[in-house]
Structure 1
Amino acid sequence: MKRVKPEPANVDKNNMDSSKPTILIVDDDHVSLSLLSKLVEKQQYHVLTAPDGRQALDMLHSQPVDLVIADYDMPVIDGLELLKEVKAEFPRLPFILVTAYSNLKVIREAWEFGAFDFFQKPVFVDRLNQTIRLAIEYGHLSIARRKFPKLEELQPDPDLLNIGVVRELAVALDREDLLQVVEEYETHARIELEQILRYNLTKNFAQVRSISHRMAGTSINLGLIRVSEEMRAIEAKPDAPIRNGAELEQLLDHSIYWLKHYLMQIFQDLAA
């Protein structure tokens, strides 16, 4: 990957090994910042640190950086705002967001604004190392982002679902609980689909198989037949190039729309 080179500034680079990728880690918590920095340094990367988003932006304007890893919950500029500003100025610079808890709204926004990936604390070392390597090597590649579409833009396709399964779920579960599960699926399925495309591109076929297997299972549990079938096909041949990424995105969009559509109809029938 070609390194992002901001405007030059007077920076002491005597202690920097130019052959090592440079990673900027941003966190207002000193202990978390120190721990993550040491984990990354142990993998032979050069590490820069900043206690908040403003200082991180100043550092990005002073020296080349290959990757930013930032905590979400920070003063001055939180991780999401930092992501927006970084992508506005350095659109090819990969960015990983770290959160202390699962926040679907933050995850959605981070993905749409161009985050390469995200971690939920605690950060596991093996996944950290693998994701950093992928971000540095392939984070500059332009992989289309799945926007969360307006429902009225989608055309009817009722054959996407097992309506019997959808009805059983609507009868068995509390309405709000089921809708929350669907929302969680929607967010994570979009992320997992992008991960499948990315790992297929980088020939990490073990991850392709693992993620497609998981996504096939969660999809069939919600009655999303076609999505599950596509994931099973990918799982069966994880080393086959995926050339229908756009069609898979559209399939997921339509499936989620019709799942919500039929759930609303069923809830109305049950309430009548």
Structure 2
Amino acid sequence: MAEVDLRRSLPLHLTWLAGLAMTWLTWTDAQDNRLGRDSHAYWVALQGDHLYANAPGTVDAFNYSPAFAQLLSPFGHLPWPVFGLGFAALVVVGFVHLFRPLGWRWVFPLLLCCTPEIVSGNVFWVLALVAAYGLRYPALWAFPLLTKVTPGLGPLWFALRREWRPLLVSLVTTALVAGVSFAIAPHAWVGWLRFMSHHFRGTSAPTGSDLFPSLLVRLPVALTLLVWCALTDRRWGLPAAMALATPVSGIAMFTILAALPRLAREQERGTVEPWARSRQPAVTPS
């Protein structure tokens, strides 16, 4: 009888157990909440002119900038079931792509660990993609900066590492997207700024799950982690800091850590960011 190497198999088995537990918790939570409660909020926002009628954490609250609503606007005419299922399918595809470097035997149990995000239809999976690829394509940081805002830590990462070109690209792209969006719907932007000021100004109470401290507690921890990791070239700290910095807390925020396999793959391959190539030492033939 072949012996089982527990040291190699135990992590996978524990991941399966964690995934099954997370699936069960998500299912029990779904008994009291709408399936796709976050993606439904996006869909509802596309049905009328009042994007910010509901406070953060309430049913169908839309917290993001008008630019995100404009991005989704072509799909606002879809029936809710089609919109919700389509959004959930995109979430699954995104996570499969992020987990694929680990091999297929890891993909399904890790997907089960992400069931809160898949079922709710939030955008943490997009933030994970940005964390995985935003160091190579800094324009991607416009997405977190124009949605959840505080997890958009890429520009600060670039500034700490004195990578001025990607810093400029990330900020200019964000400004251009915001500028075009404002030109299309200036009243919506005024509404969003008022919404943000009213609901997030100086609050020390947790917004979201009571299991986690407020953003005023989590954000300094996230920034400290980011500074240390940026200065010591520890890329894993970027998605970890982003998860801690999310404004509305919940267990699904940790799915941003799904970026880690892709980040590790890039470092293993010795991938060099385009703006850093000029700093690489030249190899002279012997």
In which range does the TM-score fall when normalised by the shorter chain? under 0.3
TM-score by length of 1: 0.26
Higher helix share goes to which structure? 2
Higher strand share goes to which structure? 1
TM-score by length of 2: 0.25
Using CA pairs under 8 Å that are at least 6 residues apart, name the structure with larger relative contact order, 1 or 2.
2
